[in-house]
């Protein structure tokens, strides 16, 4: 029996019902996880209604404390700025012995989580990204040293519902994951935004046609790269005929210093993630 099927009997509870919680829930349901094994706690009635519009068998409540005692996986899906306020009343509650606590909040370290829930708690930190909303996410995970394999499997099951994942041995690499994949979709959106703008303003395409040309090209290139065993460099060269149109475009990009610009951009994102974690 694989992890996906063997974990469908576990109960999963979410503190917070925002976009990321909703993305994970949709993925879990699509993978066959029973709606009756999913719990949500959120003080906002409209958020609870949004969850019930996904599936009305999901158990929704405004009470965080009741949920904590009932679930095998507790997902902390609230904004980092309010995490301490939300968690403080929960930390002293009795929880199931093998419960794993998963935080999807940026900048909340394992050390901070341990300070709230105790060093003996099974704790996992996750950095997801926006494409989780369409089940094409990329998540980085790390756990405290005492978190056992079974707890890690539960966390893997949770995030596999949104796409792909990697486990990191060093928590410090979470800042780099944030820079590469957490913030990464915005870099691709910017490139596509620029391409669409040029297609409209310089070449005369209408907005819908330009967007279709750009987004399908991006989708196809991403899928081709993900499925190919070739390096990205080899794939790029396979599209680039010497003296051709692609070569002309790439020579212009290289002359503008695009590699240094991206190197600086990713480092800036990584460094900001470190700063936010310290704060």
For the chain, domain boundaries: 3-178, 182-278
Return the SS3 of 261: helix
pTM (2 d.p.): 0.89
| Terminal C-alpha separation, the chain | 43
Mark residue 204 as left, alpha or beta (left: phi above 0; alpha: psi -120 to 50; beta: remaining): left
What pLDDT was estimated at residue 1? 32
Measure the CA–CA gap between 12 and 95, rounded to whole angstroms: 13
Report how far residue 272's alpha carbon sits from residue 189's, in angstroms, rounded to the nearest whole number: 20
| DSSP 8-state assignment for residue 40 | E
What whole-number distance in Å separates Cα of residue 99 and Cα of residue 49? 27
CA atoms within 13 A on the CB side of 200: 14
pLDDT tens for the chain, 279 residues: list them: 344 556 778 999 999 999 999 999 999 999 999 999 999 999 999 999 999 999 999 999 998 988 999 999 999 999 988 999 999 888 888 888 899 999 998 889 999 999 999 989 999 999 999 999 999 999 999 999 999 999 999 999 999 999 999 999 999 999 999 999 999 999 999 999 999 999 999 999 999 999 999 999 999 999 999 999 999 999 999 999 999 999 999 999 999 999 999 999 999 999 998 888 777
The alpha carbon of 246 is separated from its chain's Cα centroid by a whole number of angstroms, namely 33
Written as six digits, the tokens of 196 are 């669409």
- pLDDT for the residue 106: 85
Distances (CA, A) of 169 to 120, 124, 174: 19, 12, 10
The CATH architecture annotation of domain 182-278 reads Orthogonal Bundle (1.10)
Please give the structure tokens belonging to residue 105: 């909040």
pLDDT of residue 4: 54
Q: Which has the closest alpha carbon to 106: 181, 50, 54, 211? A: 181
b/e burial code for range 176-211 (CB count within 10 A of at least 16 → b):
bbbbbbbbbeeeeeeebeebbeebeeeeebeeeebb
- The answer to whether 71 and 89 are in contact (CB under 8 A) is no
**Please, are residues 75 and 51 in contact by the beta-carbon 8 Å criterion?**
no
**pLDDT (0 to 100) of residue 3:** 46
Contact 33, 8 (CB under 8 A): yes
Residues in the chain: 279
Domain formed by 3-178, architecture? 3-Layer(aba) Sandwich (3.40)
């Amino acid at each position: 029996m694989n992890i996906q099927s063997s974990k469908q009997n576990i109960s999963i509870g979410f503190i917070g019902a925002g976009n990321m919680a909703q993305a994970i829930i949709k993925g879990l349901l699509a993978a066959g996880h029973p709606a009756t094994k999913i719990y949500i706690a959120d003080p906002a009635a409209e958020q609870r209604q949004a969850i019930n519009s996904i599936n009305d068998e999901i158990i929704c409540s405004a009470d965080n404390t009741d949920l904590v005692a009932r679930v095998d996986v507790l997902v902390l899906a609230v904004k980092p700025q309010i995490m301490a306020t939300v968690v403080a009343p929960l930390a002293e509650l009795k929880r199931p012995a093998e419960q794993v606590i998963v935080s999807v909040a940026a900048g909340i370290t394992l050390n901070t989580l341990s300070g709230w829930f105790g060093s003996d708690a099974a704790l996992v930190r996750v950095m997801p990204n926006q494409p989780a909303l369409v089940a094409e996410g990329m998540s980085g995970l790390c756990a405290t040293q005492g978190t056992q394999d079974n707890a890690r499997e539960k966390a893997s099951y949770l995030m596999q519902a949104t796409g792909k994942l990697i486990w990191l041995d060093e928590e410090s690499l979470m800042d780099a994951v944030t820079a590469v994949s957490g913030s990464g979709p915005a870099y691709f959106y910017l490139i596509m935004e620029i391409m669409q703008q040029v297609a409209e303003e310089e070449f005369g395409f209408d907005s819908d046609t330009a967007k279709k040309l750009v987004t399908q090209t991006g989708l196809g290139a991403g899928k081709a790269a993900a499925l190919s065993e070739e390096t990205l460099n080899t794939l790029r060269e396979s599209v680039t005929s010497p003296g051709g149109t692609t070569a002309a475009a790439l020579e212009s990009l290289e002359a503008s210093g695009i590699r240094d610009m991206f190197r600086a951009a990713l480092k800036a994102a990584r460094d900001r993630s470190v700063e936010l974690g310290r704060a």
